[in-house]
Amino acid sequence: MSDLSSENKLSLKQSGVRWLWLAALVFIVDIASKLVVMNTMEYGWPNRIELLPFFNLLYVHNYGAAFSFLSDAGGWQRWLFTAIALGVCALLVFWMRRSPASNKLANSSYAMIIGGALGNLFDRMYHGFVVDFLDFYVGNYHWPAFNIADTAICIGAGLIILEGLIDDKKKQPVKH
């Protein structure tokens, strides 16, 4: 019995998994930045470091997900977010495996999301919370603190949207 899909399979060198170096880089930068914050800053609001009129460094713990979603849910959310992170990472690696390495925009966006998800997953598994420290604000309004992993996930998601818009534009018929 012949494998019809073998013609469509890309070697690992030809596939988007070559971009996993970017996921590793995001993971390392994220974990390193969190270690620096944890080892050099005191926890909490009174200990913030004011850098700009709209930006502080502020060491806080996030027991939830983005923007502290479900942070007060009692602990079960840790396992929910772990399962989601693992599922999303597995799906993105699957897509990277099927994508040619030359598809730079898609593969780099997937890698950024994977690196960010694994950075926050590491925190959740090791500490029981995610370390956040970037605090942007306008006047008295502060966005929820976030970290490098969150930034990479948002940039990756934005790149996926951009890629979709670019692909849609390429598929539109030329009007005369």
3 is catalytic: no
CA-based R_g, the chain, Å:
19
| Pair 81, 87: CB distance under 8 Å | no
Of the listed 30, 123, 135, 150, which one is catalytic? 150
Which residues are CB-contacts of 7 (< 8 A; sequence separation ≥ 6)?
none
User: To the nearest 10°, the Cα dihedral for 113, 114, 115, 121?
Assistant: 110
Dist CA 154 CA 71 (whole Å): 19
Dist CA 73 CA 65 (whole Å): 11
Bridge partners, 135 (sequence order): 56
167 is catalytic: no
Of the listed 132, 135, 167, 168, which one is catalytic? 132
Separation of CA 73 from chain center: 22
In sign, the C-alpha dihedral spanning 167, 21, 124, 145 is negative
- Looking up tokens 């990277």, which residue turns up? 96
Catalytic residues: 132, 150
